[in-house]
Amino acid sequence: MGEGISAILGFAVGVAVSPVPIIAVILMLFSERARVNGPIFLVGWVVALAVVSGVAYALADGGDASTSTSSADTIAWGKIVFGLLFLLLAVRTWRRRPAPGAEAEMPAWMAGIDGFTPGKALGFGVLLAGVNPKNLMLAIAAGTAVATLGLPTGQAIGSLVVFVVLASLTIGAPVGYYLVGGQKAKDALTELKGWLSVHNDAVMTVLFLVLGADLIAKGLPPLT
């Protein structure tokens, strides 16, 4: 299964390094329903990643991605396209960064997180993990990457489980820390939220560049 874990590792890190979802879950942890909404958001996040990566794997495996040249070429081109999209996102994010000394603007929807019901928290976790373009592309890439290896089903599923676990650490860790850490956890999470708010654009620009270059590098060899 080591080969499968190696294939998904970069994609899992890419999903995990998501400042906006981390800020969102921290805001939930300071709401009136924190002890319900935080874990529920995490459940939605995990389910969405599992479903998207699992479906991508099933479709690619059903198309004999590990043995079919045409399927392998399609997946390779998909990685290149995703890579180019990430590079474009890097340029867009860098251009839209706040001017020096200016306060970074967070999405308007964050103002309503305090009033989320558990159902909305669950749906929001699904949205940010499985519909958010960056995480959607990475989950699809992880599933197809495992399919191209031709691993036994058990090992493939194990690799995808590792992907979901690693990709969820930065969401699960704040939730767990809040539930057991008391006031110390609240202070640390407040500081983390502030840092991510200030450096969100820089973090995402670097992440998009790395992901774009990595996907293009992985997509080119099968085509040459």
pLDDT in tens, 151-200: 999 999 999 999 999 999 999 999 999 989 888 888 898 888 888 877 77
For the chain, give the DSSP string: -HHHHHHHHHHHHHHH--HHHHHHHHHHTTSTTHHHHHHHHHHHHHHHHHHHHHHHHHHHHHTTTTT-HHHHHHHHHHHHHHHHHHHHHHHHHHHTSPPTTPPPPPPGGGGGGGG--HHHHHHHHHIIIIISHHHHHHHHHHHHHHHTTT--HHHHHHHHHHHHHHHHHHHHHHHHHHHHHHHHHHHHHHHHHHHHHHHHHHHHHHHHHHHHHHHHHHHSGGG-
* pTM (2 d.p.): 0.86
Residue with token string 């990709």? 167
What pLDDT was estimated at residue 211? 84
Q: What percent of the chain has pLDDT over 70?
A: 93
The 10s digit of each residue's pLDDT in 96-122 is: 877 766 666 666 767 788 788 999 999
